[in-house]
Chains A and B, each alone.
Chain A
Amino acid sequence: MPLVATAVEIRELNKTYRGIMPWTRSAVHAVRDVTLSIPQGEIFGLLGPNGAGKTTTIKMIAGLIVPDSGTIEFPAHGRRPRLGAVLEGSRNLYWRLSAWENIMYFGEVKGVSLRQLKQQGLELLELFGLAERRHRPAQTLSRGMQQKLAVVLAFLGDPQLLLLDEPTLGLDVASSQTIQELLKRLCRERGYTIVVTTHQMDVAQSLCRRVAIMREGAIALSDRVDALVDLFKRQDYIVRLDSRQWAPLAGELGGFDFELLPEERDGQVSLRFKLRSAQEVYPLLAAFGRHNAELHDFRQELPTLEGIFLSVTTNNNGLPVAGAPHGEGQR
């Protein structure tokens, strides 16, 4: 298995905000003992509800906020990597300048050569579908286009680390998906390391290989998305069969914990079985077999990242809870 270099190594990071005026000195603990390791060449998701400490963490990585204690290192890149960032969404742009003028300005401030800038700028504008409108002032572009332009600016100069704070917030489904697809493509093809914060779980599940879920400033859970799905997986199975066959079966299934799902379509009903272990699948199938029931669907119900997120952020220990996976240990 190839060794993956670490792009960002965060250790015991803490941040408490205090106002500068005597009457605003009450403390807000924004980040508490955050320790994270973000591998190079991956999209890493920092998830959490509002006020969980995601933006503070990402801004500390960017050097915009000074931590109270703890360290942030970039082992794969040395002291400070070339950064790209979308921190305020479409507010990152100079609204009076055109898309192209924004590219030229930020590219030159980043130190990108004029030649590379022209080539890369045009390439990125085409990739994000903005080439046709590159000479229009940013303020006349739609919200989605402005957001895409902000992402384009972040990619200028081939950054070693991209920090995207809610890059798809407030976008329609199509624009959001376009940005997600392009981020995945650029990460795959060019090996960018991307840290993305979001509270849109579908976006995180689609984009990220690894995530950390933050709650009240601390990391509640951090792992690969597939590992989290595994961790939170229950022995829940969805079965769909003809409504006509359901009535004679009802008595036979009395020994199982199940519920009839409200949806009924095409003359079929769906049932959710909560089994105690995977071994229980066999007697369940045998019961259907005895009645020659024709099953249209039989599948294990996997948890979504949204379900995991809700479970983590709404209970006390951040681990699978009531009705959660059997026999899963604490992590």
Chain B
Amino acid sequence: MIRWLKIARAEIVRDLKTSLRYPLELGTGIFILYVLFMGMFLGAKVIAGRASTALSGNLDGLVIGFVMWFAAMMAINSVSTDIEYESRQGTLEQVYIHAPSFIGLTWMRAVTHISLGLGAVIFLALLIQLTTQHWLHLTWATLPATILVFALTIAGLCGFGLILGGLSMVLKRIGQLSALVQFSMLFLAYAVFLPEPWRSVVAHLPLAGGVFLLKKLFTPGASFADVAGGTAWLALDSAVYVVIGTLVFAVMERLARKCGMLGHY
């Protein structure tokens, strides 16, 4: 346990130093996301036209969906794109040799990376709310449930990311697949606007269920009781993604070692 805490510290320091060494890159990344959101927001405004009440009724979903999409991409990338990058850089084999467990290290990296990235998620959420002058209704009463739903959603996404991470160990170049996932996640982030029965179907896919519940939680007067059942389903869905992701990752890791391609790029 102490060893893992030390590894967590090492990962946090590495992540921070790597990001802060090039602050422009970090800032530009957030700025691009902000511009992207504003494009969507203004586009929606133009389309909504005079029916501005329709837009304001959906602004919660627009903001939550976008912020969660950003968090989702961060979670997925922390376990998939990072493996591809490390493989290209040549450090993957080193960490594989020295870490007590490779999948354990991958999970640890996801946790530390997302923990650090939360700052960026919150900053982006605040910036968007400030610009749109539309504030999400978050209360102390719903805060624990919001954190729980967020954590479960991210855990499921990490599980999904492990599938991609496993594939990247064997197939190496999964850039196009990552792009496809990125767009799919954008769709799932806004699945909240889908009509029934499609809404109930996609609720079990990564990200979508979490966004539905968060939207409910940000409704004035909401309480945990309103989302208890949905949270139980979300926990089950996320557990399934984590188990499947872990299994696929383990199989792909074994296959990569069998084919001698762990360090290939």
- Taking Cβ atoms with an 8 Å cutoff, the residues of A that contact B are 15, 17-20, 30, 56, 59, 62-66, 83, 85, 87-89, 91-97, 101, 104-106, 108-111, 114, 137, 153
Contact = CB atoms under 8 A, between A and B. Distances in A.
A83 to B, nearest CB: 6
Interface in B228-265: 254-255, 257-260, 262-263
A15 B259 CA distance: 9
A281 B9 CA distance: 71
B93, B94, B170, most chain A CB atoms within 10 A: B94
A97 B260 contact: no
B89 interface: yes
Contacts, number: 92
Contact of B13 (A66, A83, A87, A101): A101
Contact of A137 (B21, B170, B262): B21
Contact of B257 (A66, A83, A87, A97): A66
A105 B257 contact: no
Contact of B10 (A87, A91, A104): A104
A162 B17 CA distance: 29
Main secondary structure of the interface of A (DSSP, over half): mixed
A17 B255 CA distance: 11
A164 to B, nearest CB: 13
Nearest to A93: B91
B140 interface: no
Contact of A92 (B7, B10, B94): B94
Given A20-B259, A93-B91, A83 B6 contact: no
A234 B257 CA distance: 45
A59 B89 CA distance: 17
Given A96-B18, A96-B22, A111-B100, A91 B257 contact: no
B98 A110 contact: yes
A99 to B, nearest CB: 13
Nearest to A85: B97
B26 to A, nearest CB: 12
B93 A108 contact: no
B105 interface: yes
Contacts of B96: 64
B177 interface: no
Interface in B74-124: 89-91, 93-100, 105
A85 B94 contact: yes
Given A65-B257, A88-B263, A97 B94 contact: no
Top-6 shortest CB links A-B = A91-B90, A108-B10, A88-B90, A65-B260, A110-B98, A66-B257
B249 to A, nearest CB: 16
20 contacts: A64-B257, A64-B262, A65-B262, A83-B97, A85-B93, A87-B90, A87-B94, A87-B263, A88-B94, A94-B14, A95-B89, A96-B18, A96-B21, A96-B22, A108-B6, A109-B105, A111-B3, A111-B6, A111-B100, A153-B94
